[in-house]
Amino acid sequence: MSYLVTDFNKIRQEKSIIKILEALERGFVKFGIDYYLVGAVAREVWMRGLKDITPRRATSDIDFGILIKDSGHFTELKDYLINQEGFTGYKENAFVLIAPDHMQIDILPFGEIEKEGKVTVKGTGMTTLYVDGMKEVFEEGVPEVSFEEKITFKVCTLPGIVLLKLIAYDDRPEIRRDDLIDIADILLHFFNIYDELIWSDHNDLFGDDKSLEKISARVLGREMGKILRRNEKLTIRVIGILSENGKVKAITEIIAGTLDKTVDEINEWLNEIVTGINEVSK
């Protein structure tokens, strides 16, 4: 899945989005910034774009992870987008720009700019961002997606999305419940979306009377493990999120409620994810 082609109209109906993406791309290219789609649009590429699956939750904003060296470089990019492409700043959050059609664009820097998993930039409102996992997801490899053969972007994989959403939830569980709803949706449809990879690379999991849901969870864990093996500290953290009694209880309850499954069933799925991570990351 290194190169994907889809019709953007299957993902979003707003006609102005392609122009917004083209403007962002001009800015990224001008400053030599590598980047990839994360968040809702990345999820929708895999679900709507490739398999015509409608996510149970929709958001209108667009999130980009950008590989960047320092806060000055980040400021230059923002200034260009504001002064040359018609975006406006957002005083409540230094990592947000508002596009000309009023759509929210989240620009999430990672790379050399990071210090101990955090990024701090100049601005008003929220100026510090936790970016654990973004570099590791990017380094493992993000496929390219071509929208109507007009514009091409790198897009976060589903295992990468799950990893980043688990971390985001763990950072702020009181306000990030929706991340678990998105993870539940991905768990439900993972086999359908990743069926070719599962059959070709993980066929050892068949034959033990495992359900497709458990096989999917194990494969998801293995693919997450490929990302996490770059960072032992992050591996320990993610396994802790999925294993520690105080944390996993809330996670299983929310996912079980979302999918109308029992807590025991979801615990079995999460255990498969942890097993998959351990199989690869050690």
pLDDT band at 35 (very low <50, low <70, confident <90, very high): very high
1 has a pLDDT exceeding 60: no
Give the pLDDT confidence score for residue 16 in this predicted structure: 75
Question: d(Cα 248, Cα 239) in Å, to the nearest integer?
Answer: 10
**Least confident piece of the model among 7-16, 36-45, 201-210:** 7-16
Give the pLDDT confidence score for residue 41 in this predicted structure: 86
The pair of three-digit structure tokens given for residue 14, joined into one six-digit string? 């707003």
Local structure of 7: helix, strand or coil: coil
Name the CATH architecture for the domain at 3-156. 2-Layer Sandwich (3.30)
Helices (H), 64-157: 71-85, 134-140
> Which DSSP symbol is given to 10?
G
Give the pLDDT confidence score for residue 184 in this predicted structure: 97
Per-residue pLDDT tens for 159-178?
A: 999 999 999 999 999 989 99
Parse the chain into domains and list their residue ranges. Answer: 3-156, 163-281
pLDDT band at 150 (very low <50, low <70, confident <90, very high): confident
Mean pLDDT of 101-116: 95
Share of the chain above pLDDT 90, in %: 76
Mean pLDDT of 235-262: 93
Question: d(Cα 108, Cα 127) in Å, to the nearest integer?
Answer: 11
Mean pLDDT of 77-96: 97
73 has a pLDDT exceeding 70: yes
Indicate whether this model's pTM tops 0.85.
yes
104 neighbors 62 (Cβ within 8 angstroms): yes
Question: d(Cα 23, Cα 77) in Å, to the nearest integer?
Answer: 12
Q: Which residue has the tokens 């962002």?
A: 24
The residue among 55, 53, 59, 56 whose CA lies nearest residue 14 is: 59
Question: For the purposes of burial, counting CB atoms within 10 Å of the CB of 210, is it exposed (0-12), middle (13-18) or buried (19 or more)?
Answer: middle
